[in-house]
Structure 1
Amino acid sequence: MVSALKVRGREQGFTLLEILLVLILLAGSGFYLLIKLPINFERQHLTFQATQLLEDIRDTRQAAMAENNWYAVKFYYQTGDHHYQIFKQGKLIKNVYFKDGISFLGSPGDLTFNALGRSVGTTIILTNSLGEQKSVIVAPVGMRIREK
């Protein structure tokens, strides 16, 4: 009777099946992240660069009005490194290079802000290696500067 009442002792550790299941789940999650993360990074870089360009143009316009000087934003797109420069009365004050994969779509016109904050209107389109686009629009009427 004693053997019938004998309680089996609790085993320690994991079975091979449990370990394999956990490894398969981790491998699947890792594979998903390897595919999705670079795409999200490309989108974030494009959004960041467009927002930085928008803020730089707004700051440049504001500085031209506040200091009663002329400022210019010049875009460089012919070479492999797409970037823009900000000038105060012809003197370089800021140079911004885009992250890898971000470039201008087409050839944006340079902007020159006078002491009243006026400039010609233009649309600056940025694109990434995935073909996604963000636009920074400088409207000539009312000098509204916005991102699309």
Structure 2
Amino acid sequence: MSQIESKEYGFTLLEMMLVLTLLAGAGFVLLVKLPNHWERDRLSFVTTQLLEEIRDTRQAALAENDWYQIKFYTQGEPHYQIFKEGTRIKDISLLKGIKFLGQPKDLLLNASGRSAGTTILLTNSLGEQRSVIVAPVGMRIREK
């Protein structure tokens, strides 16, 4: 005589509710934390991009024995432009939510590698700040 065993597999309502509650909690934490993380990443990206643009422009001025200028615009959409001997060669817009803090002085880079020093402050919508510092002597360019 063979006996048929009935095995039912599945989840109880309580187990389903527990899993859904845990997933909802994790989703809420991500929704709260991710936008702040993205803001920090955008600020870091824009600061690094500006740093590299200034370094590349300084290197071009030295290599080509020409003068370059970087102008900063805070009105409207914040951006900066790079000029070679008065002719605009590049226009770079800041990412959404990033802006200049104050009005940075324009940079004039000549073939000797010197320029008036300046500090360019950037901020995001969270109020976090980063700065790019251009030293007047030796044209040391760094981020702080």
Instruction: Give the TM-score category using the shorter length.
Output: over 0.9
Cα deviation code 1:46-70 (max 9, x no counterpart): 0000000000000000000000000
- Alignment pair present for 1:23 and 2:20: yes
Q: Give the whole-Å Cα distance in 2 for the aligned partners of 1:40 and 1:130.
A: 10
After TM superposition, list the pairs within 5 Å mapping 1:3-42 onto structure 2: 9-42=6-39
Q: Give the whole-Å Cα distance in 2 for the aligned partners of 1:38 and 1:8.
A: 53
Secondary structure of the residue aligned to 1:120 is coil
After TM superposition, list the pairs within 5 Å mapping 1:1-148 onto structure 2: 9-77=6-74, 79-148=75-144
**Offset at residue 7 of structure 1 (A):** 9.6
Query: What amino acid is the match of 1:139?
Result: A
> What runs of 5+ residues in structure 2 fail to find an aligned partner?
none
With structure 2 as the length reference, what TM-score do the two structures score?
0.95
Q: Is contact 2:113–2:138 with CA below 8 Å preserved after alignment?
A: no
* Higher Rg: 1
Q: Is contact 2:67–2:85 with CA below 8 Å preserved after alignment?
A: yes
Q: Give the whole-Å Cα distance in 2 for the aligned partners of 1:11 and 1:143.
A: 75
Cα deviation code 1:85-130 (max 9, x no counterpart): 0011111111110111100001100001111121100000000000
Cα deviation code 1:17-76 (max 9, x no counterpart): 111111001100000000000000000000000000000000000000000000000000
Q: Which residue of 2 aligns with 1:3?
A: none
Q: Give the whole-Å Cα distance in 2 for the aligned partners of 1:57 and 1:19.
A: 56
Secondary structure of the residue aligned to 1:11 is coil
With structure 1 as the length reference, what TM-score do the two structures score?
0.92
Q: Give the whole-Å Cα distance in 1 for the aligned partners of 2:94 and 2:139.
A: 25
**Offset at residue 10 of structure 1 (A):** 2.9
